Copies of this chain bind each other. A is one copy, B any other.
Amino acid sequence: MAPLSVEEARAALLAGLRPLGRIKVRLEEANGRVLAEAVRAPGPYPPFSRSLVDGYALGPHDANSDGSSFIYRLVGTVTAGSTTAIALKEGTAAAVFTGARLPEGTVAVVPVEAVKERQGEIVVLDFPASGRYLEQSGEEVKPGEEILAAGTVIGPGEISLLAALGFREITVYRRPRVALATTGNELREPGNGRVADFFDRAAIYGSNLYALAAAVEAYGGQVICLGILKDVLEEQVAACRRGLEEGDLLLFTGGAGGSAFDFTSAAFSGAGGELLFTELAVRPGKRAVAARAGNKLMIGLPGTPPAAQVLFYLLVVPVLKAMGGRQGALSAFLAPLKKAVDRPRAERTFYWARVECRGGRFEVTPLPRYPGGIRAAVGANALIDLPPGAAPKEGEEVTVIMISDIE
């Protein structure tokens, strides 16, 4: 198969992809989830007309007042939460606190500062504009109004609104289940022995499972760990089948190349997958495989940890987002280089980088490169996306994709 560009590969993976099923979650677990259906207000907000200040609720004007100030007789006090039944008649007022339900008959609210209080009555020095300092029932939210659209990503602001309207549960898309496996006869579980034990052997610790599990969870996926697989086709086909049964997405690392010990594409096919691509026109990550089996996807990432991680952000994140009801790839922006990229590459290349903010402006520094690359992603919070042959100088603008926060 001809190598695909990142955009073509992404399009192939996302084609026809729909959000997974819906589930109810409690508000306490809703942060970061995506609403699977619109939410309508069950009632008005605020549910009653209330004061926005500590002050006085005024009844209708007393026709006998003079024109410059208004005198009201105090008939009671209403605190927040109080259900005292006061009705304000002409020329009367009640002391009210912020959040208090306004007495029947209230025509205006004045803050403490705008009033002079004297025995049993108040003089209003500064009459407020109509509707100030108070909030009518339903002023913020009308009953039945759609307050949040389907597809809304829930954050603290949305949680606040939902709680205020009395919701304790909402319907969201369920999290994608991601079955993770890594392949290679040379791989061992970290911590099974000390590093020194391997000096006279030929094994290394498999690190992709740990790095990818963390990344999958950070993007809303649930990890099903299939562990380390040997370079044996039958074992890999069996793992694929199990992964497809339990997961929505299967991620392999290693074995995505074309040599005698690379079984990923054969394993994907063997488990019933229809291959989408077997090679990409990108560096790192040229050797990557993907297949579709019904509405499930299988992606074979390279075995080299930083290459696997680059493709995770470019291809897997958009799939996780789409399966979870969010849209699209990570967003890209332009930022000036703090340090030149001196060695141009013939292929489109993604560099690990660090974005910082100085004096309100972003700047991006490509990170030092290591031969095998196991340290390549350390300290990175972004990727630089360079077209073939580009060798941008210091200060030149490049395309940047954020993968984590700016410290």
Q: In the complex, which of the residues B148, B190, B203, B360 contacts A27, with contact meaning CB atoms closer than 8 Å? A: B190
Q: Are A42 and B157 in contact (CB under 8 A)?
A: no
Q: Which residue of B lies closest to A136 (CB)?
A: B371
A205 in contact with B166 (CB, 8 Å): yes
Considering only residues 360-403 of chain A, those with a C-beta below 8 Å from chain B are 360-362, 370-381, 399, 402
Check if A161 is an interface residue, CB within 8 A of chain B: yes
Q: A191 in the interface, Cβ–Cβ < 8 Å?
A: yes
User: Does B43 contact A164, Cβ atoms closer than 8 Å?
Assistant: no
Asked whether A314 is an interface residue with its Cβ less than 8 Å from the other chain, the reply is no
Contact with B along A124-163 (1 / 0, CB 8 A): 0000000000010001110000011000110111111111
Given contacts A211-B159, A215-B156, contact A407 B43 (CB under 8 A): no
- Nearest-neighbor residue (CB-CB) of A157 within chain B: B377
Q: 8 Å CB contacts to B: which residues of A164-207? A: 164-169, 184-187, 190-191, 193-196, 198-199, 201-207
Asked if A194 meets B42 with Cβ closer than 8 Å, knowing A54-B259, A80-B231, A163-B210, the reply is yes
Copies of this chain, tallied across the complex = 2
Q: A135-B372, A198-B48, A377-B157 are in contact. Are A80 and B407 (CB under 8 A)?
A: no
Closest to A102 in B: B202
Query: In the assembled complex, which residues on chain B have CB atoms less than 8 Å from the CB atom of A190?
Result: 27, 162-168
Chain A contact residues (Cβ within 8 angstroms of B): what range?
A: 35 or more
Cβ-defined contact, B153 with A99, below 8 A: no
Q: Say if the beta carbon of A295 comes within 8 Å of chain B.
A: no
Q: Which of B41, B155, B201, B218 contacts A214 (CB 8 A)?
A: B155
A69 near B: Cβ within 8 Å?
A: no
Give the complex CA separation of A31 and B219 in angstroms.
Answer: 12
| A97, A334, A381: residue with the most chain B Cβ atoms closer than 10 Å | A97
Q: Interface of chain A, helix or strand or loop or mixed?
A: loop
Known pairs A99-B184, A157-B309, A333-B361; A211 contacts B378 (CB<8 A): no
Most buried by B among A160, A165, A217: A160
Inter-chain contacts of A209 with B (CB < 8 A): 163
Q: In the complex, what's the smallest C-beta–C-beta distance from A215 to chain B, in angstroms?
A: 4
On chain B, the residues within 8 Å of A163 by CB distance are: 190, 205-207, 209-211
Give the contacting residue for A156; candidates B167, B214, B334; CB below 8 A: B214
What 8 new A-B contacts, CB under 8 Å, besides A30-B214, A135-B372, A360-B399? A46-B204, A54-B260, A156-B212, A159-B211, A161-B375, A166-B195, A333-B357, A333-B360
